[in-house]
C-alpha cells in the first residue's frame, strides 16, 4: 500500500469524528455522540463527503453522518470537517450492509444516496444502494416519513431505482431528469459531489428522485 495512504489510515484512527463499529451508539447518536437532540441524516456511499460537509454547514440544527467503506476517501471529508469545526458531522467507515447494528429503530429521518455505484451486472444488482435488499436494511432504522434523496448520472440505475421504490409503494415527492437545468430544484439537491463534477464535465445530466416509503 502506498505510504501516503498508510499515513492517512493511521491519522484517521485518531480522529474524533470518525467512528468504528459503533454498535453501542445505536439508538443514541444524537444524545451520546453529538450531545444534542437534533435529527440525524445519513449520506450512504459518501466518498470524500462533500455533500455531508455542505449539508452540515447549511443546517446546523441537524446531525450528519457520512458512510463509506473507503477509508482514504473518508479521510478527506473528516479532515475538512475538523478544519471547519463542523461539530454536527461525523463519518463511519463501514460496509452499508452492516448498518442495522449501528442505528436504532426510528433513528434516521433523512437519507442521501448520491451517485451510487451502478453495478451493471444483474447478478450484482443486490449491491446497488437502492436495491430492495438494501432498502430492507434501511427499514430497520428509518422513521416513518423518512425522506430519501437519490442522485445519479446513470439512466439504467435511475430506472432501476424507480422500479425498486415502486415495489415498496413509495410516494415520490420530486422527480427530475436534469437537476442543473430544471426549475424548482432545492438548493441542497444542487450541491455538487466529486462524482457529480466528473459527470457534468463529461456532459452527462443528473437525475434525482426524492421519496418516502411506508
Ligand atoms: C461512485 S462513488 C460516489 C461517491 C460520492 N457519493 C460522490 O458522489 O462523489 C460510490 C461510493 O459508494 C461507496 N460504496 C459502495 N458500496 C458500498 C457499501 N456497500 N458500503 C460502503 N460504501 C459503499 C464506494 O466506496 C464509493 O466511495
Return the pLDDT at 3.
82
- Model confidence at 49, in pLDDT bands (50, 70, 90)? very high
Which residues are catalytically annotated?
Answer: 117
- Model confidence at 105, in pLDDT bands (50, 70, 90)? very high
* Model pTM score: 0.97
> DSSP label at 19?
E
- Of 130, 14, 117, 19, residue with least CA distance to 66: 19
How many C-beta atoms lie closer than 10 Å to residue 66's C-beta? 32
pLDDT single digits (tens) 114-163: 999 999 999 999 999 999 999 999 999 999 999 999 999 999 999 999 99
Question: Candidates 51, 52, 55, 69: which one to mutate for ligand 1, based on the most atoms within 8 Å of Cβ?
Answer: 69
Return the pLDDT at 191.
98
CA 45 / ligand 1 centre spacing (Å): 3
Domains and CATH numbers, the chain: 3-212 (3.40.50.150)
Cα dihedral 24, 83, 64, 188 in deg (nearest 10): -170
Amino acid at each position: 500500500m502506498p505510504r501516503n495512504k498508510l499515513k492517512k489510515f493511521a491519522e484517521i484512527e485518531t480522529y474524533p469524528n470518525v467512528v468504528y463499529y459503533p454498535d453501542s451508539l445505536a439508538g443514541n447518536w444524537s444524545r451520546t455522540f453529538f450531545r444534542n437532540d437534533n435529527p440525524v441524516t445519513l449520506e450512504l456511499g459518501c466518498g470524500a463527503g462533500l455533500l455531508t460537509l455542505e449539508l452540515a454547514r447549511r443546517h446546523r440544527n441537524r446531525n450528519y453522518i457520512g458512510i463509506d467503506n473507503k477509508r482514504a476517501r473518508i479521510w478527506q471529508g473528516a479532515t475538512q470537517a475538523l478544519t471547519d469545526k463542523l461539530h454536527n458531522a461525523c463519518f463511519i467507515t463501514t460496509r452499508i450492509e452492516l448498518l442495522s447494528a449501528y442505528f436504532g429503530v426510528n433513528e434516521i429521518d433523512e437519507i442521501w444516496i448520491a451517485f451510487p455505484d451502478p453495478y451493471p451486472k444483474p447478478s450484482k444488482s443486490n449491491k446497488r444502494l437502492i436495491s430492495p435488499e438494501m432498502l430492507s436494511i434501511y427499514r430497520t432504522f428509518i422513521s416513518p416519513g423518512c425522506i430519501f434523496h437519490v442522485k445519479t448520472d446513470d439512466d439504467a440505475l435511475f430506472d432501476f431505482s424507480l422500479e425498486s421504490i415502486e415495489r415498496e409503494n413509495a410516494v415520490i415527492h420530486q422527480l427530475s431528469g436534469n437537476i442543473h437545468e430544471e426549475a424548482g430544484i432545492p438548493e441542497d439537491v444542487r450541491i455538487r459531489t466529486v462524482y457529480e463534477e466528473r459527470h457534468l464535465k463529461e456532459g452527462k445530466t443528473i437525475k434525482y428522485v426524492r421519496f418516502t416509503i411506508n
